Amino acid sequence: MIRRNRAFPALILIAALLLVSVALALDYKYVALKRGKKYHYPTCEYAQRVDSRLLLYFNSAKEAQAAGYKPCNTCKPPITD
């Protein structure tokens, strides 16, 4: 019983860290192909067609533009958020 009580806070911490990392991984609004020139909504057909390892993730349009990407002509992501 004592051992279990000691492990309990550590388990809570691990669970919390996992939740935070999942939340961070999902916290993006736009994606861009690493070798492409456009940024897209994650739902855009161009973004969905490629392997996720070839994508970059952005939290804002400004961030995507700062990285040198232009908005996609198909899914039309905003220029400013």
Task: Give the residues lining the site for Zn ion (CB under 5 A).
Answer: 40, 44, 46, 72, 74-75
Instruction: Please report how close the Cβ of residue 67 comes to Zn ion at its closest, in angstroms.
Output: 16
Q: Give the H or E element holding residue 76.
A: none
- Closer to Zn ion by CB, 40 or 64: give it: 40
Residue nearest to Zn ion (CB): 72
Instruction: Please report how close the Cβ of residue 40 comes to Zn ion at its closest, in angstroms.
Output: 3
Label residues 44-59 b or e (16+ Cβ within 10 Å = b).
Answer: bebbeeeeeeebbbbe
Instruction: Please report how close the Cβ of residue 35 comes to Zn ion at its closest, in angstroms.
Output: 15
